[in-house]
Amino acid sequence: MDLKSVEGGNNDGENGLDKSKTEVGVKANTEMGVKAKDVGSVSGKDMFFRADMIDFKSWDVQLEKHLSRVWSRDREAQTKKEEWEIDLAKLDIKSVIAHGTYGTVYHGTYDGQDVAVKVMDWGEDGISTAAESAALRTSFRQEVAVWQKLDHPNVTRFIGASMGTVNLKIPSNTSSDAINSLPTRACSVIVEYLPGGTLKKYLIKNWRKKLAFKVVIQLALDLSRGLSYLHSKKIVHRDVKSENMLLDSRRTLKIADFGVARVEAQNPRDMTGETGTLGYMAPEVLDGKPYNRKCDVYSFGICFWEIYCCDMPYPNLSFADVSSAVVKQNLRPEIPRCCPSSVANIMRKCWDANPEKRPEMDEVVKLLEAIDTNKGGGMIPEDQANGCFCFSAARGP
């Protein structure tokens, strides 16, 4: 068949042809180096080419150039790092600090400075689905993008993060199977290393003699200022507890572990679910109701009590009993009789069952700053001349 016979057929349907497909084919052939002179005469309406007249060698050259450009763009996208992403080759891990629900925390150095490294392997345990794993990694990127911009003396300083562990060097003596079990796609966060350890360990250490009142207020102020700063940035921590607070060499408290932290939703209904640690969780969170930053205020109230008493809340109750009693019976830790009214009032306001009645964290900061610690803060009430026997030993050094 020559081109003239083809041009004589005006009915596309009779020739089994589709005009739109023909036009697309013409465009593609033109882009791939097929010139009009290569194929002889053509029709303005329906253009076809003789296969023996097409320069396939030119097609191959053009295709190779096109694929090269695509591959170059893909490689560039893969190698392009986020501004918060670190070079794992500069990270030297020394020892294990702790094992947690979502991974392991190590002590190491990065670029000459002491750091703590939290390697999170959620979504890579063979249990989570591919979709769940992808969602967790996307959420991780979003949260890290927020945390890297935070700068406050009572918030652990963020140094960087990584979305993979290919170049992560973990000494074999840190864990017998750490290297073999660590997923290559696990995520890691690197923050400043704080040698004072967790607030929880510090309180346990001082369980018998308790803390001096000035120390109690100082720790509470550090925590309240850190939370006030986070809330000013529209960030809800959602897991405020003594175990997630760290101390530096000067006993300055810094908020850490932002594993479940998130940017506060505009609509409280978008933030639901039991997120946090039982004993510190607000009633609305335990009950699965919508919540906001006021859940952190409730948790602060429990932490304040814990700092004052150097004890654990609800030590004799099971998790199930605590959950039910906090929601249905308004259960709260028992405030010692020797506790100054200024302190007790802050605790009660913070753990009010109604989130709207709880103060904002910046208000709590002002209330704490107004407390006079020069005279012991009223540790011994006026009607107890012989002293307070709420604790078995004197408070503080």
Region for 33 from its dihedrals, namely left if φ exceeds 0, alpha if ψ lies in -120 to 50, beta otherwise: left
Residues 145 and 214 in one domain: no
Residues 348 and 201 in one domain: yes
Residues 159 and 143 in one domain: yes
Calpha distance 300→276 (Å, rounded): 13
pTM: 0.70
pLDDT above 70 as % of the chain: 64
pLDDT at res. 264: 43
In a domain, 380, yes or no: no
Highest mean pLDDT among 46-50, 55-59, 66-70, 201-205: 201-205
In a domain, 53, yes or no: no
- DSSP class of 172: G
Residues 128 and 248 in one domain: no
Residues 167 and 264 in one domain: no
Contact 8, 48 (CB under 8 A): no
In a domain, 121, yes or no: yes
In a domain, 349, yes or no: yes
Span 331-384, pLDDT tens digits? 999 999 989 999 999 999 999 999 999 999 999 999 999 999 886 644 444 444
81 pLDDT above the threshold of 80: no
Span 156-170, pLDDT tens digits? 999 988 877 666 777
pLDDT at res. 186: 72
In a domain, 263, yes or no: yes
Calpha distance 240→294 (Å, rounded): 11
Per the structure, the count of domains in the chain is 2
Last residue of a domain, one of 127, 162, 192: 192
Lowest mean pLDDT among 32-41, 89-98, 247-256: 32-41
Mean pLDDT of the chain: 76
Lowest mean pLDDT among 157-166, 227-236, 238-247: 157-166
Span 160-199, pLDDT tens digits? 888 776 667 777 665 544 444 566 667 788 899 999 999 9
In a domain, 141, yes or no: yes
- In order, the DSSP letters of 52-117 are GGS-HHHHHHHHHHHHHHHHHHHHHHHHPPPTTB--GGGEEEEEEEEE-SSEEEEEEEETTEEEEE
Residues 102 and 164 in one domain: yes
pLDDT at res. 147: 79
pLDDT at res. 181: 56
In a domain, 339, yes or no: yes
Residues 258 and 311 in one domain: yes
Q: Which residues contact 164 (CB under 8 A, 6 or more apart)?
A: 88, 184, 185, 186, 187
In a domain, 352, yes or no: yes
Span 207-230, pLDDT tens digits? 998 999 999 999 999 999 999 999
Residues 267 and 125 in one domain: no
Residues 136 and 275 in one domain: no
* 334: CATH: 1.10.510.10
Contact 115, 190 (CB under 8 A): yes
pLDDT at res. 99: 75
Q: Which residues contact 259 (CB under 8 A, 6 or more apart)?
A: 100, 102, 118, 120, 239
Residues 248 and 326 in one domain: yes
Residues 107 and 218 in one domain: no
- The set of catalytic residues is 239
Domain that holds residue 153: 88-172+180-192
Report the pLDDT averaged over residues 6-26. Answer: 47
Report the pLDDT averaged over residues 271-277. Answer: 50
